[in-house]
Amino acid sequence: MPVHSEPIQGYRIHWADSILEAGIASEWTSFPSSSTDTLDAGYLAALEQAQPGDLSFRYGLLYYRDDGQPVARIALQVLNFTSRNFKFPKTTWKTLLAMIALRFRRFRVIMAGNLFSVGKPMIDCPDEDHLPALLQATEIEARRLNYDLLLLKDLPEYWHESVFENAGYHPFEADLTMQLSLPASWNSFDDYLHALTKKYRQRAVKIRRSGSLLERRWLTPAEVRTGANAINRLFRSVQEKQVVRMGIVDVRYFLALSTALGDRFRMLGYFLQDRLVGFASYIRHGDELEVHYIGMDYTVNATHQLYFNILLDGIEHAIRDRYAKLELGRTAREAKAVCGCRPHPFRDRYKTRNAGIQRLLNRMAASFTEDEGASWQIRHPFGERMI
């Protein structure tokens, strides 16, 4: 049965804390929509199965009047945000106060979005007329969950801004990802290299030469299980260097995705003298290839340019398999800009419960932006042959 049902001015909404709840699963699956594959019930169940250490879930189906079919659906991720989720790159008196606040108080972030994917909305409302009621129902549920920050992530551009302004939401400008559009004329990695200017082409060739001793091997689910300790260690080494760490998972996450997504999910292992020193996971979304989570040994990275080889391998795989776009995520912007990626902003909206939370959010957003720097914005590795 659903967790509870809430009446809202001519509407009612059913909430459940698992996508497998009998009272929501069948209607969620049969919802008539062309929305993103990240709202697929099998994928959502995989996220639950991964048991993220800092997340819980809520799923809502909105009904209009007494109609039997839902008119909208929404997936929420409930994040208990503490000092383990954020690392300030610089220590100032402002960041010190923020660190103290994060250490002694847990903050509740309610997100209508997906921490594990980029640019995939988790609000599915085909008729925008129902959107105000869905937003109202979501805020009521967020208040019940005692939220500090309510975030609507990766919103479609075609929804009118007035809907969110009237509901009291503010734009969040700091969210962007790095993407590479792949011309149809590229048939091989050599075509990518030839599109680079001489300086960047020489750099890419040198990176490939540095990684020539790395053995690449696609990992089977059985190999992921037997290599669980190494995969967890390599993944943690990357997470610990990130300013923002949300949705804390381990090897169970990769195994759950492999089961849920089948051949849409793959993991490439990097070996040095038969020792696993890194991995990159990939998810296919239609004509887009996403380089998902990675893990690596930073000692090997220093000697074999492991991270840049992971980026270049992603480009090679995307070209070879005829994808139109490569998605490389939000972090390490300069490294990705060097490879030719360009920024793609997202439409996010948020509201906070009080001024103190707003100040903390501003400080964290500023710290993340400072850590990424600005030099990535002046990287232009492609010559005229790209056009």
pLDDT band at residue 127 using 50, 70 and 90 as cut-offs? very high
- Per residue in 304-357, pLDDT (tens digit) is 999 999 999 999 999 999 999 999 987 778 889 899 998 888 889 999 887 767
Task: Judge contact between 381 and 205, C-beta under 8 A.
Answer: no
Of 66 and 304, the structure prediction assigns the larger pLDDT to 304
What pLDDT band is residue 83 in, cutting at 50, 70 and 90? low
What pLDDT sits at residue 87? 58
Q: What percent of the chain has pLDDT over 90?
A: 61
Least confident of 158-162, 175-179, 318-322: 175-179
The token pair that represents 187 in the structure block: 């048939």
- The predicted pLDDT at position 387 comes to 42
233-282 tens-digit pLDDT:
999 999 888 766 677 899 999 999 999 999 999 999 999 999 999 999 99
- Mean pLDDT (whole number) for 37-56: 91
CB atoms within 10 A of CB 299: 11
Q: For residues 349 and 152, give the distance between their C-alpha atoms in angstroms, rounded to a whole number.
A: 5
Note the pLDDT of residue 82.
64
DSSP string, 128-183: GGGHHHHHHHHHHHHHHTT-SEEEE-S--TTS-HHHHHHTT-EEE---EEEEEE--
pLDDT band, residue 163 (cuts 50/70/90): very high
- Report the CATH number of the 177-345+374-386 domain: 3.40.630.30
* Helical spans, DSSP H, in the chain: 22-29, 41-50, 93-104, 131-144, 161-166, 189-195, 198-210, 221-226, 228-239, 251-261, 298-304, 306-320, 333-338, 355-372
Mean pLDDT of all residues in 142-164: 92
Q: Report how far residue 15's alpha carbon sits from residue 42's, in angstroms, rounded to the nearest whole number.
A: 18
| pLDDT classification of 96: cutoffs 50, 70, 90 | low
Fold agreement between 4-175+347-353 and 177-345+374-386: yes
pLDDT higher than threshold 60 for residue 384: no
More confident residue, 257 or 362: 257
Whether 177 and 367 have beta carbons less than 8 Å apart is answered as no
**Is CATH 3.90.550.10 what the domain over 4-175+347-353 is classified as, yes or no?**
no
Tokens for 361, please give them. 């959010």
pLDDT band at 295 (very low <50, low <70, confident <90, very high): very high
- Model confidence at 119, pLDDT cuts 50, 70, 90, reads confident
Q: What is the mean pLDDT of residues 95-124?
A: 78
pTM (2 d.p.): 0.87
The region of weakest confidence among 37-46, 89-98, 208-217 is 89-98
Predicted pLDDT of residue 101: 61
pLDDT for res 78: 93
Q: Are 37 and 257 in contact (CB under 8 A)?
A: no
- Which of 54-63, 122-131, 162-171, 173-182 bottoms out in mean pLDDT, i.e. has the lowest? 173-182
pLDDT of 157 reads 87
Helix then strand then coil, in percent of the chain rounded to 5, is 40, 25, 30
Q: What is the mean pLDDT of the chain?
A: 87
Side-chain half-sphere exposure of 227, counting CA atoms within 13 A: 25
Q: Where are the domains of the chain?
A: 4-175+347-353, 177-345+374-386
C-alpha to C-alpha distance for 239 and 129, rounded to whole angstroms: 41
CA pair distance 182, 188, nearest whole angstrom: 11
